[in-house]
Amino acid sequence: MKRKVLSVMLAAAMTVTVFAGCGDTAEEPQGTPDGAAGTEADGDTAAAPAGEGSVYMLNFKPESDQQWKDLAEIYTEQTGVEVNILTAAEGTYSTTLQSEMAKDEAPTIFNIGNVTAAQTWNDYTLDLSGSALYDHLSDKSLVINYDGKVAGVANCYECYGIIYNKTILNDYCSLDGAVISSVDEINNLDTLEAVAKDINSRVDEINEALGTHLTGAFASSGLDDGSSWRFSGHLAGVALYYEFLEDGCDLIAGEPAIDGTYLDNFKRVWDMYVTNSSADPMTLEGGTYNAEMEFGMGEAVFFQNGNWEYSALVNPDNGYEVTDADLGMMPIYFGVDDENQGLCVGTENYWAVNAKASQEDIDATLAFLEWVITSDEGRNAITNEMGLSAPFDTFTGDYESDNAFVKDNNAYIADGKTSVAWSFNATPNVDDWRADVVAALTAYTNGSGEWDAVEDAFVNGWAAQWKLAEEAK
């Protein structure tokens, strides 16, 4: 009998321990999204005043995690409103968003990158058309319109094109036998092609004359997952842009079927990148090349990428040779409307506000966002600390960007050039479509496949994925 009592007691003790364990977790302070992976803002000691909502932002850019947290702290000190920042690790935004949204304390601000994301999260996006955020937007095209509402407002804009080394290119112009006498002469694809070909074929001669250590005209065009988006996304975007323009559809939202009208131009530019580079076209998919490093170390003159590369290229920690004075960006001349074409301007970073949050939280969130783009602290953080170019009319004077590429972009706009919209944002099932295009492009480039397969993946793949995306709505 004694033994029985003892065993029952022991069992009971075990059970209690288990439940005690559960109890502990439940008693954790609420307010911060519990158990979330990643890093959260320090739990604020000042509790939010009763009746006021709180803000929970799921930040998209890992590199600006700390800046957002600092900003949140300042805001809480000033207003007492609790602001939590959670940053998803690189490449895991959609998974993090999915799991965070399923929680009771769901994010009130999240990032949507394109129309597809706006479709996925349609039930969750609040119409921002009447918000202060939208009112301050200087370029009203920098929004995502979906389902009759403004689903997302750009929080920064970016531009991409062909980054070039100003110093080397200028010096090249002064050489004997150079095909151009001034960099300004490169204002169309024919000239760009001629210059790239000339530099690439005379690399040793140029190195000797200028004291450079070039290995080729273009930096490598890697087709691995870490680099292929520059071509299946950004370069393809130019082809899509001209086609959408011709068809008269929305430049960002796109159309259900495409003809690949400008694929020949795409091929011409791609061939230019690949043939005028020192990288082995057979191994571009291997992920062994680092185009940023090649350009940064002065091994290449041209490098297709965007203004986000600026901070990496001039960051002294990276040890690159190029400096601010070397950096310039020109449009990706496409052989269509070269004389009027500017850089490709757009963004994949739109703020969306969670419509399923409580009204207090929504109000607090909108107030916080307004504060970010109008207060000195907010503007300073965005421009100077995060290095972003904000598309709001409040960013003037000290808060204008010092990014060399953004300055180039402003110059092109002042010159009357037409910016190319980010038409690749219309891509249906973007990961799947790009994967197929990249596979075909890889096969074409390493000689195991034909260009027809690229066309097929581009055109037929688009229609098929569009249909799937429609069905999934």
Partner 1 sequence: MEKAIKKYFPIFVLPTMIAFTIGFIVPFLYGIFLSFCKFTTVVDWEWVGLSNYLKIFFVNGELDTTFIHSLWYTALFTIVSVVIINVVSFIIAMALTKGIRGTNIFRTVFFMPNLIGGIVLSYIWLMLFNSVLSHFSKTIVSSEWYAFWGLIIVVCWQQIGYMMIIYVAGIQNIPGELIEAAKIDGANAFQILKNVTLPMLMPTITVCTFLTLTNGFKLFDQNMALTGGNPGKMSQLLALNIYDTMYGTTGWQGVGQAKAVIFFILVAIISLAQNKLTTSKEVQD
Interface contacts to partner 1, rule CB under 8 A: 3-4, 7-8, 11-12, 14-15, 17-18, 94-95, 98-99, 101-102, 116, 119-121, 123, 224-225, 280, 282-283, 285-288, 428-429, 431-432, 435-436, 439, 442-443, 446, 448, 464, 467-469, 471-473
Q: Tell the smallest beta-carbon distance from residue 282 to partner 1 (Å).
A: 4
- The nearer residue to partner 1, 176 or 471, going by C-beta atoms, is 471
Q: Tell the smallest beta-carbon distance from residue 401 to partner 1 (Å).
A: 33
Q: Tell the smallest beta-carbon distance from residue 247 to partner 1 (Å).
A: 22
- The nearer residue to partner 1, 392 or 462, going by C-beta atoms, is 462
Q: Tell the smallest beta-carbon distance from residue 170 to partner 1 (Å).
A: 34
**Secondary structure in 3-state letters for the chain:** CHHHHHHHHHHHHHHHHHHHHHHHHHCCCCCCCCCCCCCECCCCCCCCCCCCCCEEEEECCHHHHHHHHHHHHHHHHHHCCCEEEEECCCCCHHHHHHHHHCCCCCCCEEEECCHHHHHHCHHHECCCCCCHHHHHECCCCCEEEECCEEEEEECCEEEEEEEEEHHHHHHHHCCCCCCCCCHHHCCCHHHHHHHHHHHHHCHHHHHHHHCCCCCEEECCCCCCCCCCHHHHHHHHHHHHHHHHHHHCCCCCCCCCCCCCCCHHHHHHHHHHHHHCECCCHHHHHHCCCCHHHHHHCCCEEEEEEECCHHHHHHCHHHCCCCCHHHEEEECCCCCCCCCCEEEEEECCCEEEEECCCCHHHHHHHHHHHHHHHHCHHHHHHHHHHCCCECCECCCCHHHCCCCHHHHHHHHHHHCCCEEEECHHHHCCCHHHHHHHHHHHHHHHHHCCCCHHHHHHHHHHHHHHHHHHHHHCC
Q: Tell the smallest beta-carbon distance from residue 90 to partner 1 (Å).
A: 14
Q: Tell the smallest beta-carbon distance from residue 106 to partner 1 (Å).
A: 9
Q: Tell the smallest beta-carbon distance from residue 88 to partner 1 (Å).
A: 12
- The nearer residue to partner 1, 66 or 95, going by C-beta atoms, is 95
Sequence-distant (6+) residues with CB within 8 A of 386 are: 61, 63, 64, 67
- The nearer residue to partner 1, 172 or 458, going by C-beta atoms, is 458
- The nearer residue to partner 1, 1 or 414, going by C-beta atoms, is 1
Angle at CA 377, nearest 5°, toward 375 and 379?
Answer: 65
- The nearer residue to partner 1, 12 or 46, going by C-beta atoms, is 12
Q: Tell the smallest beta-carbon distance from residue 225 to partner 1 (Å).
A: 5
- The nearer residue to partner 1, 17 or 359, going by C-beta atoms, is 17
Q: Which two tokens stand for residue 198?
A: 């000339």
- The nearer residue to partner 1, 47 or 472, going by C-beta atoms, is 472
- The nearer residue to partner 1, 97 or 390, going by C-beta atoms, is 97
Q: Tell the smallest beta-carbon distance from residue 253 to partner 1 (Å).
A: 15
- The nearer residue to partner 1, 31 or 287, going by C-beta atoms, is 287
Distance CA 313, CA 296 (A): 6
356 HSE (CA, 13 A, CB side):
12
Q: Tell the smallest beta-carbon distance from residue 52 to partner 1 (Å).
A: 26
Sequence-distant (6+) residues with CB within 8 A of 81 are: 48, 49, 52, 53, 54, 55, 75, 364, 367, 368
- The nearer residue to partner 1, 115 or 169, going by C-beta atoms, is 115
